[in-house]
Amino acid sequence: MRMGWWVFISLISVSIILMQELLEDYAAGRSDMWSYVWALGFMLVLGIVAFWFFTRTDEAK
């Protein structure tokens, strides 16, 4: 499960950077709120897929 931990940490890091960038764009008026919602939804789906994959990998052991 060590690989799953590193993937989880990297997903959190990427999502924090993405949220910061999108909020700065939104505050500056260069972006609308829908791009923020889509990006967070994408990160949520990616996190669920990674969780499912590593759960299945642990069951296979």
In tens, the pLDDT along 21-48 reads 877 887 888 777 787 778 778 878 887 8
Domain that includes residue 35, residue range: 1-60
Is 56 within 8 Å of 3 (Cβ atoms)?
no
Q: Please give the pLDDT value at position 61.
A: 62
Enter the pTM of the model. 0.55
How many CA within 13 A on the CB side of residue 52?
6
Q: Look at residue 2 and tell me whether its pLDDT is greater than 80.
A: no
Alpha-carbon span 13 to 26, nearest angstrom: 20
| Total domains present in the chain | 1
Q: Please give the pLDDT value at position 60.
A: 65
User: What torsion, rounded to 10 degrees, do the Cα atoms 41, 43, 47, 50 define?
Assistant: 120
